[in-house]
Amino acid sequence: MTRDTASIGRRGERAAARHLRRRGWRLLARNWRAGGGEIDLVVRRGSVIAICEVKTRRRDVGPELVTARQRERIRRASACYAAWTRLPAGVDVRLDLILVSRRRRLPGWRVEHLPGALA
């Protein structure tokens, strides 16, 4: 990954975190690593914990950017997170995808949250 690509990815993750916080989600973890994978964001709202993969690109992006191999790594890391944090009973955990791209005509980012897209 080039320095520019990593920088865009970090900015996209920050934009995704802001987007989620504005919608009532509480950030629990960022860039959490285990099980051979990384979780970009872990957020909670009520009884739902969302483990989020953030995909950031300069132009519009789609869910097809997440390969089967990446989905498996995210699932393994998610299982490790659930075991490590000892999630309380009654909490629903789901695997979400957040697509972030630069807006074409307006400054800032376009953020699209796809609940359960990685299940």
Q: Show the domains of the chain with their CATH numbers.
A: 3-114 (3.40.1350.10)
Asked if residues 13 and 32 have their Cβ atoms less than 8 Å apart, the reply is: no
Model pTM score: 0.87
3-class secondary-structure state, position 52: strand
Say whether pLDDT at 62 is over 80. no
Place of tokens 């483990």: 51
Which of 73, 72, 71, 20 has its CA nearest to residue 49? Answer: 20
**C-alpha to C-alpha distance for 29 and 31, rounded to whole angstroms:** 7
Mean pLDDT within 24-52: 94
Taken as a whole, the chain contains a residue count of 119
Say whether pLDDT at 99 is over 60. yes
Q: Which of 8-12, 27-31, 41-45 has the lowest mean pLDDT?
A: 8-12
